[in-house]
């Protein structure tokens, strides 16, 4: 005899209250480095040199972070005498560098959005974080987000992975098969910039070289709440995070 | 009326003979035209003859010459044979036009010879003779002619390529059936004055129950062979598949019916078969229906599959006949009338839609040179007209309203449900189980014909065949006639039932018109059969819509019950088709209004993002029917061999070749044991032939002594 309903009632609601309330449980996000002003240019250069993915760029005494490349390896936090600043949080969704603005889906989709996920050469990490959204803790269905297996019924194309050569065609076909109110969201550093795979003859170096990307969720992998924030942004229920400052002084996020 | 019937009956034979004559005179080039014109003309005469008998409300009888030792040949055309003759006329009309146009399309080298023409018209005459025969000898002679002509037509193959074994199996079974039928009639005739049906009928009352059972069993076997009943139907799929496409419709639409005619004539008319025989027929029919549809659903060859479906329909008809025999033996005339009219209705329906489907299959085979449903596909684009007509046939045979299959299957199931009025619980259980089997059959029939239509006409082309749109518009005309008949039989049951009632009343002892077609249009308030309150209720439901300008008694089929349950069942396909059409129009208006501002974008087919969708990757008929195959594995008992080719290691498979062999359940359970027993016996007896001369001389001596011993007295 199973008492699952009794156990369920006794445990109460375990799902996160996000987005109604901020989720501050320790461990929900690995955090990420942010732009830091050091006391000397030497310290800034050392910080840039230690980054294995060239996500940190030194400019005078300041370092700038390209979150599209950062893999949260924490070398710049733990292996430097004067570490980079580190921010907790997860509301990281941003616009691609080639876009001044992206409109969310029309308001009819705000409470009902169907998502088609395409694995374009993902290592599995982003997919695993994405899968967490189905579990009772994050439970994206309560927000009206549903995964679908057919592009004909999908409103959002969610791409993970750097777009390997073999997945370029299927990805384009999927995009073409979707109804035209579609949005494209690149999730993870690989999907944004090619990440640790970079550009090669078998790898397209990010989704934006194949499709027009509307929103990006940086992180490698981004935690589930970051992806959930991205979905809320696409649905028009949240806005994109503050624009990162870049070395040349323009405010567009850069890669 | 009798004069019209007699003249047109004679004219049928004259036209048939004329057809042969013209074929011989005009030469090979004109034979298709002669087949079409003379065939259609004599088909019209068949319909005219039977209509004359049905309208005259009296049988047409004429005595012919007297044959020494056999008595007088008589022609006797009563309402029962008229119904069959009328159905044959309608179907033959379409078949003759189909044969003509089909052979014309085939090109000059495929033109039939005079040989084919003779066989075709001779078979037509033999069929008519069977239906009008009024005595045993004429009946049996024409039955035998029909069997032999069928055999010759199956093997009619001017190029001499086909396998002849199917024809021989059929001939062997037909002859066995013929012998059984002959013995059955002789048993009946033992105490009769002569061999005419009339004296057999009057003599059958004095038969003992054992003799009745024996006659029933022999007749059921003999006619069951022709009707395709389990377990004597193994010849049927084989020979339908082997027969030339121009001839299969005759098989399915004409000669199959003769089996039902024989069963009804012998058991319902000539003798009063008892209660047990009815149950046997009911169970056999239900099992036949289920086995037939199971193999129809899983077979991949279009003709074989349609043949299995014919077996299924034969099962439904015989189950209804069985229910009729039980009801009649238990003195339930109304239920008996319902059951037998369901059987006759379904017989007519089956010959119409199965002929249509076989003609369609013939056109498909001609256009694509294949019958394999795993290789066909996308024909709706190549042959749009044929596709629409074929769809009507598929809907009709799947018992989807407003087409004819629905009415008769519904009546059959209702007749089985009427077992509620029977007293015996065990009989009710048998009826319930058979009803469940028939309901399952009906459900599987839908699966089966969804598969047939979808796999052949929808999707993309899967085979290597090149579509040849050889069929001209004219050649679809015979199919279109049958499609229209399907619709008419489906929406006008209240006009068909009174016609059937003519032949049902003498058999069942109750009029199906009075029982089922309630006089909503003609009733007066004082009518005893329809009380005013009842009439008012149904008036409010709309049962009197059309009163005054629609002829007939009404458009509602309704069986009245007792006080507690005033309506046993009711339906009106005529009103529902109007309602459905209105709903369709309204829906169309609403949808077009709602979507007026929408734009339509056409994108390529979504196939999971694979680089190229190869035709072989698409869903096949085998895949579609696989669930049925898995669920009924206990019946199919497949023999699967798997051959895996691998390179390097177990995980690197280059090819998996899977072969599946099935032996039909009848072959497995009946033919194989018989074959094994015969071989065992032969091997045992062969032990005598060891080659020693002394022993052979001893055998001769022993046999001589034996003979002398038996004849010692004489």
CB contact under 8 A, A177 and B604: yes
Of the pLDDT bands very low, low, confident and very high (cuts 50, 70, 90), residue B663 is: confident
Q: Flag whether residue A152 sits within 8 Å of chain B, measured between CB atoms.
A: yes
Using CB atoms, pick whichever of A150, A174, A180 lies closest to residue B601: A180
Give percent above pLDDT 90 in chain B: 53
pLDDT at position B471 over 60: no
Of the pLDDT bands very low, low, confident and very high (cuts 50, 70, 90), residue B107 is: low
CB contact under 8 A, A152 and B606: yes
Using CB atoms, pick whichever of B603, B610, B611 lies closest to residue A176: B603
Same domain? For A225 and A120 the reply is yes
Same domain? For A120 and A224 the reply is yes
Same domain? For A78 and A113 the reply is no
Chain A CB contacts of B610 under 8 Å are 170
Residue B364: name the closest of B309, B295, B301, B307 by CA.
B301
Other CB atoms within 10 A of residue A57 CB: 18
**Calpha distance B44→B50 (Å, rounded):** 10
pLDDT at position B619 over 90: no
Q: Flag whether residue A222 sits within 8 Å of chain B, measured between CB atoms.
A: no
Question: What confidence score (pLDDT) does residue A59 get?
Answer: 87
**Calpha distance B61→B138 (Å, rounded):** 14
What's the whole-number mean pLDDT along residues B7-31?
91
Using CB atoms, pick whichever of A151, A169, A176 lies closest to residue B611: A169
Using CB atoms, pick whichever of B603, B604, B609 lies closest to residue A170: B609
What's the whole-number mean pLDDT along residues B501-527?
83
pLDDT at position B164 over 90: no
The 10 Å CB-count burial string (b at 16+, else e) for A122-142 is: bbebbbebbebbeeeebbbee
Question: What confidence score (pLDDT) does residue B714 get?
Answer: 60
The answer to which of A209-213, B379-383, B407-411, B433-437 has the lowest mean pLDDT is B379-383
Chain B CB contacts of A177 under 8 Å are 603-604, 606
Same domain? For A156 and A211 the reply is yes
Question: What confidence score (pLDDT) does residue B528 get?
Answer: 63
What's the whole-number mean pLDDT along residues A81-94?
91
Whether B177 contacts B144, CB under 8 Å = no
Q: Which of B177, B206, B235 is the last residue before a domain boundary?
A: B206
Test the B interface: residue of A120, A152, A177, A178 with most B CBs within 10 Å: A177
Question: What confidence score (pLDDT) does residue A253 get?
Answer: 44
Test the A interface: residue of B601, B606, B610, B611 with most A CBs within 10 Å: B606
Chain B CB contacts of A211 under 8 Å are none
Query: Beta A215-217 vs A183-187: how paired, if at all?
Result: parallel
Whether B287 contacts B230, CB under 8 Å = yes
State chain A's mean pLDDT as an integer: 90
Cis peptide before A19 (omega within 30 of 0): yes
Chain B CB contacts of A148 under 8 Å are none
Using CB atoms, pick whichever of A152, A173, A179 lies closest to residue B609: A173
Q: Flag whether residue A164 sits within 8 Å of chain B, measured between CB atoms.
A: no
Q: Find the helix packing angle between B302-329 and B404-417, rounded to 10°.
A: 40
Same domain? For B78 and B198 the reply is yes
Of the pLDDT bands very low, low, confident and very high (cuts 50, 70, 90), residue A246 is: low
Chain A CB contacts of B612 under 8 Å are none
Of the pLDDT bands very low, low, confident and very high (cuts 50, 70, 90), residue A255 is: very low
Min Cα separation B450/chain A (Å):
24
- Asked whether residue A4 is assigned to any structural domain, the reply reads no
Same domain? For A131 and A201 the reply is yes
CB contact under 8 A, A171 and B609: yes
Using CB atoms, pick whichever of A151, A171, A180 lies closest to residue B606: A151
Min Cα separation B599/chain A (Å):
11
pLDDT at position B469 over 60: no
Strand partners, A203: A164, A200
CB contact under 8 A, B609 and A176: no
Of the pLDDT bands very low, low, confident and very high (cuts 50, 70, 90), residue A131 is: very high
The answer to which of A20-24, A214-218, B611-615 has the lowest mean pLDDT is B611-615
Of the pLDDT bands very low, low, confident and very high (cuts 50, 70, 90), residue B170 is: very high
Other CB atoms within 10 A of residue B272 CB: 17
Whether B32 contacts B112, CB under 8 Å = yes
Residue of chain A with shortest Cα separation from B601 = A179
Min Cα separation B156/chain A (Å):
53
Chain A CB contacts of B603 under 8 Å are 176-177
Tracing tokens 């910039």 back to the chain, one arrives at A193
- Asked whether residue B53 is assigned to any structural domain, the reply reads yes
pLDDT at position B478 over 80: yes
Q: What CATH number is attached to the domain comprising A69?
A: 3.30.70
Question: What confidence score (pLDDT) does residue B280 get?
Answer: 95
- Asked whether residue A93 is assigned to any structural domain, the reply reads no
Chain A CB contacts of B602 under 8 Å are none
Same domain? For A135 and A64 the reply is no
Half-sphere exposure of B582 (CA within 13 A, CB side): 6
What is the Cα gyration radius of chain A?
19
- DSSP class of residue A37 equals E
Residues whose CB is less than 8 angstroms from the CB of residue B263 and which lie 6 or more positions away in sequence, other chains included: B219, B220, B223, B224, B227, B281, B318, B321
Give percent above pLDDT 70 in chain B: 96
Question: What confidence score (pLDDT) does residue A254 get?
Answer: 47
The answer to which of B302-311, B468-477, B682-691 has the lowest mean pLDDT is B468-477
**Calpha distance B338→B421 (Å, rounded):** 13
Residue of chain B with shortest Cα separation from A166 = B611
- Asked whether residue B199 is assigned to any structural domain, the reply reads yes
Same domain? For B160 and B108 the reply is yes
CB pairs under 8 A between A and B: 20
pLDDT at position A251 over 60: no
Question: What confidence score (pLDDT) does residue B229 get?
Answer: 92
Min Cα separation A94/chain B (Å):
28
- Asked whether residue B579 is assigned to any structural domain, the reply reads no
State chain B's mean pLDDT as an integer: 89
Same domain? For B677 and B654 the reply is no
How many structural domains does chain B have?
4
CB contact under 8 A, A151 and B611: no
pLDDT at position B109 over 90: no
Residue B666: name the closest of B290, B352, B343 by CA.
B290
Using CB atoms, pick whichever of B606, B610, B611 lies closest to residue A177: B606
How many structural domains does chain A have?
2
CB contact under 8 A, A170 and B610: yes
Distances (CA, A) of A83 to A72, A89, B33, B70, B289: 14, 19, 99, 120, 82
- Reported as a single tens digit per residue, the pLDDT across B239-273 is 998 888 888 999 999 999 999 999 999 998 888 88
Q: Which of B160, B176, B206 is the last residue before a domain boundary?
A: B206
Coil/strand/helix, residue A148: coil
Same domain? For A80 and A113 the reply is no
**Calpha distance A247→A253 (Å, rounded):** 10
Q: Which of A87, A119, A134 is the last residue before a domain boundary?
A: A87
Those residues of chain B whose CB sits closer than 8 Å to some CB in chain A are 601, 603-604, 606, 609-611
Same domain? For A114 and A216 the reply is yes
Same domain? For A77 and A167 the reply is no
Same domain? For B108 and B191 the reply is yes
Residue B396: name the closest of B517, B479, B476 by CA.
B479
Q: What CATH number is attached to the domain comprising A206?
A: 3.40.50.12280
- Asked whether residue B657 is assigned to any structural domain, the reply reads yes
Residue range of the domain that includes A198: 107-234
Strand partners, A187: A160, A217
CB contact under 8 A, B604 and A180: no
Question: What confidence score (pLDDT) does residue B433 get?
Answer: 96
Whether B156 contacts B247, CB under 8 Å = yes
Same domain? For B115 and B181 the reply is yes
Q: Which position has the higher pLDDT, A244 or B280?
A: B280
pLDDT at position B160 over 70: no
Same domain? For B651 and B701 the reply is no
Same domain? For B86 and B62 the reply is yes
- Reported as a single tens digit per residue, the pLDDT across A54-74 is 899 898 899 999 999 999 999
- Reported as a single tens digit per residue, the pLDDT across B421-435 is 888 899 999 999 999
Strand partners, A157: A116, A184
As for the ipTM of the complex, it is 0.74
Q: Flag whether residue A165 sits within 8 Å of chain B, measured between CB atoms.
A: no
Question: What confidence score (pLDDT) does residue B661 get?
Answer: 83
pLDDT at position A250 over 60: no
Other CB atoms within 10 A of residue B216 CB: 24
CB contact under 8 A, A171 and B610: no
Residue of chain B with shortest Cα separation from A175 = B609
Same domain? For B674 and B657 the reply is no
Of the pLDDT bands very low, low, confident and very high (cuts 50, 70, 90), residue B190 is: confident
The answer to which of A118-122, A241-245, B490-494, B663-667 has the lowest mean pLDDT is A241-245
Tracing tokens 């059984």 back to the chain, one arrives at B180
Same domain? For B675 and B557 the reply is no
Distances (CA, A) of B656 to B610, B626, B627, B651, B659: 21, 18, 21, 12, 10
Same domain? For B23 and B81 the reply is yes
Same domain? For B520 and B628 the reply is no
Question: What confidence score (pLDDT) does residue B489 get?
Answer: 95
**Calpha distance B656→B145 (Å, rounded):** 51
pLDDT at position B527 over 70: no
Same domain? For B143 and B36 the reply is yes
The answer to which of B260-274, B313-327, B552-566, B686-700 has the lowest mean pLDDT is B552-566
Chain A CB contacts of B601 under 8 Å are 179-180
Give percent above pLDDT 70 in chain A: 95
Test the B interface: residue of A118, A167, A173, A179 with most B CBs within 10 Å: A173
Residue range of the domain that includes B643: 615-661
Question: What confidence score (pLDDT) does residue A121 get?
Answer: 92
- Asked whether residue B518 is assigned to any structural domain, the reply reads yes
Same domain? For A69 and A151 the reply is no
Count Cβ atoms within 10 A of the Cβ of residue B513 and give its class: 0-12 exposed, 13-18 middle, 19 or more buried.
buried
Chain A CB contacts of B598 under 8 Å are none
Q: Flag whether residue A177 sits within 8 Å of chain B, measured between CB atoms.
A: yes
Same domain? For A217 and A149 the reply is yes
Q: Flag whether residue A36 sits within 8 Å of chain B, measured between CB atoms.
A: no
Cis peptide before B153 (omega within 30 of 0): no
Residue of chain B with shortest Cα separation from A167 = B609
Min Cα separation A158/chain B (Å):
15
- Reported as a single tens digit per residue, the pLDDT across A193-202 is 998 888 889 9
Same domain? For A121 and A198 the reply is yes
């Amino acid at each position: 005899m199973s008492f699952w309903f009794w156990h369920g009632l006794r445990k109460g609601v375990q799902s996160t209250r996000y987005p109604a309330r901020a989720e501050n449980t320790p461990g929900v996000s690995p955090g990420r480095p942010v732009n830091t002003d050091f006391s000397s240019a030497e310290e800034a250069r050392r910080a840039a040199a230690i980054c294995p993915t060239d996500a940190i760029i030194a400019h005078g005494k300041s370092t700038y972070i390209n979150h599209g490349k950062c893999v949260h390896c924490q070398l710049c936090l733990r292996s430097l005498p004067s570490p980079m600043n580190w921010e907790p949080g997860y509301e990281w969704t941003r616009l691609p560098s080639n876009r001044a603005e992206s409109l969310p889906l029309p308001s009819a989709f705000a409470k009902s959005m169907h998502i088609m996920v395409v694995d374009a050469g993902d290592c599995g990490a982003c997919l695993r974080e994405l899968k967490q959204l189905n579990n009772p803790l994050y439970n994206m269905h309560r927000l009206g987000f549903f995964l679908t297996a057919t592009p004909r019924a999908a409103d959002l194309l969610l791409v993970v992975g750097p777009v390997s050569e073999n997945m370029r065609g299927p990805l384009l076909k999927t995009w073409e098969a979707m109804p035209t109110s579609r949005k494209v969201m690149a999730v993870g550093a690989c999907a944004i910039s090619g990440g640790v795979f970079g550009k090669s003859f078998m790898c397209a170096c990010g989704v934006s070289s194949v499709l027009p990307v509307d929103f990006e969720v940086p992180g490698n992998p981004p935690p589930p709440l970051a992806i959930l924030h991205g979905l809320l942004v696409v649905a028009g229920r949240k806005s994109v995070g503050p624009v990162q400052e870049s070395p040349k002084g323009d405010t567009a996020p850069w890669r | 009326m009798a004069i019209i019937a007699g003249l047109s009956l004679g004219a049928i034979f004259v036209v048939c003979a004329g057809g042969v004559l013209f074929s011989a005179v005009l030469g090979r080039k004109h034979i298709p035209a002669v087949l079409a014109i003379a065939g259609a003309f004599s088909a019209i005469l068949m319909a005219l003859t039977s209509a004359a008998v049905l309208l005259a409300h009296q049988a047409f009888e004429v005595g012919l010459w007297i044959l020494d030792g056999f008595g007088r040949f008589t022609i006797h055309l009563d309402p029962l044979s008229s119904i069959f003759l009328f159905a044959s006329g309608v179907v033959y009309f379409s078949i003759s036009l189909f044969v003509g146009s089909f052979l014309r399309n085939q090109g000059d080298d495929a033109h039939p010879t005079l040989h084919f023409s003779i066989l075709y018209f001779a078979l037509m005459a033999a069929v008519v003779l069977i239906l009008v025969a009024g005595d045993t000898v004429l009946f049996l002679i024409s039955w035998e002619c029909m069997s032999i002509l069928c055999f010759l037509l199956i093997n009619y193959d001017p190029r001499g390529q086909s396998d002849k074994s199917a024809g021989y199996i059929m001939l062997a079974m037909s002859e066995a059936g013929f012998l059984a039928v002959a013995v059955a009639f002789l048993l009946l005739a033992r105490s009769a004055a002569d061999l005419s049906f009339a004296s057999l009928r009057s003599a059958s009352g004095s038969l003992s129950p054992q003799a009745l059972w024996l006659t029933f069993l022999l007749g059921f076997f003999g006619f069951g062979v022709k009707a395709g009943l389990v377990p004597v139907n193994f010849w049927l799929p084989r020979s339908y598949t082997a027969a030339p496409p121009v001839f299969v419709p005759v098989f399915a639409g004409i000669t199959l019916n003769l089996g039902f005619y024989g069963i009804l004539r012998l058991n319902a008319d000539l003798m009063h078969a008892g209660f047990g025989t009815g149950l046997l027929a009911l169970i056999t029919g239900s099992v036949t229906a289920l086995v037939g549809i199971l193999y129809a659903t899983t077979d991949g060859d279009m003709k074989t599959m349609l043949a299995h479906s014919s077996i299924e329909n034969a099962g439904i008809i015989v189950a209804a006949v069985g229910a009729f025999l039980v009801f009649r033996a238990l003195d339930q005339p109304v239920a008996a009338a319902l059951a037998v009219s369901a059987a006759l209705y379904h017989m007519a329906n089956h010959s119409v839609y199965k002929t249509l489907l076989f003609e369609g299959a013939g056109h498909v085979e001609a256009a694509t040179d294949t019958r394999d449903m795993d290789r066909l596909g996308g024909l709706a684009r190549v042959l749009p007209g044929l596709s629409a007509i074929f769809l009507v046939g598929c809907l009709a045979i799947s018992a989807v309203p407003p087409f004819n299959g629905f009415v008769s299957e519904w009546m059959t199931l209702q007749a089985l449900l009427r077992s509620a009025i029977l007293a015996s619980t065990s009989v009710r259980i048998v009826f319930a189980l058979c009803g469940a089997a028939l309901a399952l059959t009906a459900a599987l029939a839908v699966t089966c014909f969804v598969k047939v239509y979808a796999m052949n006409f929808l999707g993309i082309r899967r085979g290597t065949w090149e579509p040849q749109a050889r069929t001209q518009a004219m050649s679809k005309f015979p199919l279109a006639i049958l499609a229209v008949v399907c619709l008419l039989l489906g929406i006008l049951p209240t006009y068909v039932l009174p016609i059937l009632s003519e032949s049902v009343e003498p058999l069942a002892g109750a009029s199906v018109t009075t029982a089922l077609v309630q006089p909503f249009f003609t009733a007066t308030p004082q009518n005893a059969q329809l009380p005013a309150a009842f009439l008012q209720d149904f008036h409010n439901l709309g049962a009197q819509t059309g009163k005054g300008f629609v002829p007939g008694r009404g458009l509602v089929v309704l069986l009245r019950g007792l006080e507690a349950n005033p309506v046993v069942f009711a339906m009106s396909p005529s009103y529902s088709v109007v309602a459905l059409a209105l709903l369709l129009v309204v829906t169309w208006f609403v949808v077009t209004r709602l979507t007026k501002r929408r734009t339509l974008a056409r994108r390529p087919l979504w196939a999971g993002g694979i680089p190229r969708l190869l035709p072989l990757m698409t869903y096949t008929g085998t895949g579609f029917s696989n669930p049925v195959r898995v669920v009924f594995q206990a019946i199919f008992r497949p023999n699967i061999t798997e051959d895996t080719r691998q390179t390097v290691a177990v995980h690197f498979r280059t090819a998996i070749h899977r072969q599946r062999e099935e032996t039909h359940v009848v072959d497995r359970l009946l033919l194989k044991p018989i074959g094994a027993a015969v071989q065992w016996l032969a091997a045992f007896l062969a032990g005598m032939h060891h080659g020693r001369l002394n022993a052979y001389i001893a055998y001769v001596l022993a046999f001589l002594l034996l003979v002398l011993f038996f004849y010692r007295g004489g």
